[in-house]
Amino acid sequence: MINIPAEGQYNMYNTDFCPHANFVEFIWPNMYDRLLKDFPSDDLFKDEYPEERKHGQRPHCRRFFCIGETQGSKYFEQYMKGIKDLPSSWQMFVNNILTNKDYKKFICKALKVKDFKIRFDFHRTEGGLDVSPHVDSLGKIGSHLFYFMPKDWTDEMGGKTVFYRGRKVKRMNPEPEEFEDSVTTSVIGNRSCLFKNVNEGWHGITKINSNMHRQICNVVLLK
């Protein structure tokens, strides 16, 4: 169901951006096509439109639901679903990620950790929205983002994961232009991005210029 890349096929630590690596066809192509076709229906999602965000950052607005580990946080209760709420293809994928020993070894080596827990976050983000630069909470080891954009998605439609370096201000709510440099991922087709949560691991999402939703499954890797 998934292709585990061998050591030497990727390098997460080759820049001074947030450690990350991009992968093509991490999911078997036939399985990816089925997952894209069966991407969870909108009625599983709830609006997550917070009025404020930590450090005065702009709120991150989207449609959202999650499955799995919450680290005891009550915040996720209203968004929590069970594996059996998913289409059958997604049940297979989620269970594979949870039980695949080779995937666990891959994540541990890539992120340089001994163990981790998993929460699956599903996002649908509408046109006109972005995600402002931020660093993830301390409970996160990293994230493995799987992109499920509609087939007609183009680079001009945005919605790319963006990593920043060289913060030029001291405050913790910088805007994209307040970094010296940035690099973006491609989100078109069967692609995924794994990144590690570090102190200066600033990242966000570029503005979505489409009437279609940005769709992802984020395998959140937790302490």
Q: Give the pLDDT of residue 90.
A: 98
Q: What is the DSSP letter of 2?
A: B
CA 21 distance to own-chain centroid: 12
End-to-end CA distance of the chain: 25
- Contact of 102 with 163, CB cutoff 8 Å: no
Tell me what pLDDT residue 78 has: 96
Q: What is the pLDDT of residue 218?
A: 98
Among 146, 147, 140, smallest CA distance to 196 is for 140
Is the CB of residue 163 less than 8 Å from the CB of residue 195? yes
- Given this model, what pLDDT does residue 29 score? 98
pLDDT digits (tens, 9 = 90+) for 83-108: 999 999 999 999 999 999 999 999 99
pLDDT at 205: 98
Sites in the chain below the pLDDT cut of 50:
none
pTM: 0.96
Q: What is the pLDDT of residue 14?
A: 86
8 A C-beta contact, residue 211 and residue 129: no
Alpha carbon distance 46, 78 (integer Å): 8
Task: Delineate the domains of the chain, giving CATH numbers in brackets.
Answer: 20-222 (2.60.120.620)
| Number of residues that this document lists for the chain | 223
Note the pLDDT of residue 127. 97
Q: What is the DSSP string of 51-98?
A: S--GGGPPP--EEEEEEE--TT-GGGGGGB--GGGS-HHHHHHHHHHH
